[in-house]
A and B are shown apart, each in its own frame.
Chain A
């Protein structure tokens, strides 16, 4: 009896995982299959839509890369991401460090206050910010995104880093001060090298968040060559009412997967930030 029950439990577990995984992954499977289907196959309501009924084609990929601005979107996304990461690091790292280390009671309060601003959504801010962006003459410019995206990366990253810095023993930096460094020097030469994994987490997080962003990009940018992947693919690969599903799916897939792989590695760390120390 025992082994059979065990086997059944095992089977149930795999079935459960498998069904959840299929639910999660199905849209991506759909993207893969659409990317390689001929249009004739794709738009045939009688054919089995789950399979390639005709030999695979590279037409959609060719179209995506050579006849659309997809590559430009990727480049734009990358440029914005890198700039946002840089701004986030420069502002969040010192703020998180001094809040975690030097401020006693009010540091925690201010830290939580900064974190709470993460909850103020773009939905409330994008109307005044659109005005602000046009007053600054930044409409149709990647700079508008570079300027605005840190509003959601800084609060969360500051909070996340505060947690990281608290795990580094104070002794180490006091030792570094005794060993000849200033307070700032101890932070830069001892604490930061010890926080590499934390900093890396911030880099990945800020980059993925700015890549995922949709509302601001949609509001500030309408010129095709200035768009990021997140808005370029859904808005530009549609001609009037005609959705070019093949290239659309290929574009969505190509832009999604690499960043997802990296993100997965760091997921547990973000969760530590989300749970706000409610889990030790």
Chain B
């Protein structure tokens, strides 16, 4: 197992700064998720760690050894691509055996090793099939088996679940997490899906425009976003942001509820909430509307759990409240989180 460290790394494609001065270090055996919108540089960063892309500036260290200019083959990393990149001309068995053969492993030892990796993902029966004869889920397993078969020091995954259908994705997520815990590989996982990031990561790295915006455990990222980008990128619907006296006040939709449901020792803020539109999603109801008092940009969303039994209707105004503990404040010009309070 190994640590990966990235020091001041940049990658420019012509004028475009895909990655712009990123510093990052994993702990050993950590599951680190790189999260961000498409084009934020997360995949480029991953490819530089893999050695497929060479950085314009900066260094990459694996186990404190500088590997910046080493080719991928000697870095002992494994990578699972979004497309799974199975070798179409080889059987499943040969696909899994491939990294062993390129490393010149003793021929006699290969079958047992392949067997072990295939068993781990329950694909022993598929060994003689070609990749095109496999379902999406099976392909993903083969790709994982091929990645782990040589016991890499670092495990890189580039949106490995995005080609699966929604149902399969949830179970694959769970399996992946369990497998990583069991093997203890240091894992770097790229995704644009916040649900995957929240569910999988020991820590999440939120990136935007080639830079890191925040690094931290999922709960911290969600509840204490470092800036307005993180606050609005995570959460669905995103955090409500309202301007008040030169700062932005933020609160999550699920924390903004009819006043009778909110009570807190730290106190609450209550506003008249003029409802424009209701969206009943079964498990929850999204309530759209405006707070006219105090804020001049007062468009707000509230998320009511499905089991909250209130009768509200569009076109009318109700008293909604948020706990003061759940309020976050951001500097209006920099977007960074600051201290603040509401009267």
**Contact, chains A and B (beta carbon distance below 8 A):** yes
Q: Mark A154-187, 1 if CB is under 8 A from B, else 0.
A: 0000000000000001011011111111110100
Residue from B52, B72, B83 whose CB has the most chain A CB atoms within 10 Å: B72
Checking A175, A181, A182, A185 against B85 with a beta-carbon cut-off of 8 angstroms, the contacting residue is A175
Checking B73, B103, B146 against A177 with a beta-carbon cut-off of 8 angstroms, the contacting residue is B73
Q: Is A234 an interface residue (CB 8 A)?
A: no
Q: Is B102 an interface residue (CB 8 A)?
A: yes
Q: Are A175 and B81 in contact (CB under 8 A)?
A: yes
C-alpha spacing A176/B98, complex, angstroms: 9
On chain B, the residues within 8 Å of A178 by CB distance are 50-52, 72-73, 77-79
Q: Are A177 and B89 in contact (CB under 8 A)?
A: no
Q: Are A180 and B88 in contact (CB under 8 A)?
A: no
Q: Mark B36-68, 1 if CB is under 8 A from A, else 0.
A: 000000000001001110000000000000000
Q: Is A193 an interface residue (CB 8 A)?
A: yes
C-alpha spacing A179/B152, complex, angstroms: 10
Checking A174, A180, A183 against B102 with a beta-carbon cut-off of 8 angstroms, the contacting residue is A180
C-alpha spacing A171/B51, complex, angstroms: 13
On chain A, the residues within 8 Å of B79 by CB distance are 174-175, 178
Interface of chain A: mostly helix, strand, loop or mixed: helix
On chain B, the residues within 8 Å of A181 by CB distance are 73, 102
Interface size on A, residues (CB 8 A): 18
Interface members, chain B 76-116 (any A CB < 8 Å): 77-79, 81-83, 85, 87-89, 98-99, 102-103
Q: Are B88 and A194 in contact (CB under 8 A)?
A: yes
Q: How far is the CB of B18 from chain A (nearest CB, A)?
A: 15
Q: Are B52 and A177 in contact (CB under 8 A)?
A: yes
Q: Are B87 and A182 in contact (CB under 8 A)?
A: no
On chain A, the residues within 8 Å of B85 by CB distance are 169, 171-172, 174-175
Q: How far is the CB of A187 from chain B (nearest CB, A)?
A: 14
C-alpha spacing A176/B47, complex, angstroms: 14
Q: How far is the CB of B200 from chain A (nearest CB, A)?
A: 21
Q: Are A174 and B73 in contact (CB under 8 A)?
A: no
On chain A, the residues within 8 Å of B315 by CB distance are none
C-alpha spacing A176/B95, complex, angstroms: 10
Nearest B residue to A196, CB-CB: B89
Q: Is A190 an interface residue (CB 8 A)?
A: yes
Q: Is B71 an interface residue (CB 8 A)?
A: yes
C-alpha spacing A193/B90, complex, angstroms: 10
Nearest B residue to A177, CB-CB: B72
Nearest A residue to B52, CB-CB: A174
On chain A, the residues within 8 Å of B50 by CB distance are 174, 178
Q: Contacts A180-B102, A180-B103 hold; do A171 and B73 have CB atoms under 8 A apart?
A: no
Checking B51, B77, B87, B102 against A185 with a beta-carbon cut-off of 8 angstroms, the contacting residue is B102
Residue from B78, B99, B146 whose CB has the most chain A CB atoms within 10 Å: B99
Give 5 pairs: A residue, B residue, CB < 8 Å, sorted on A: A174-B47, A175-B81, A178-B72, A180-B73, A190-B87
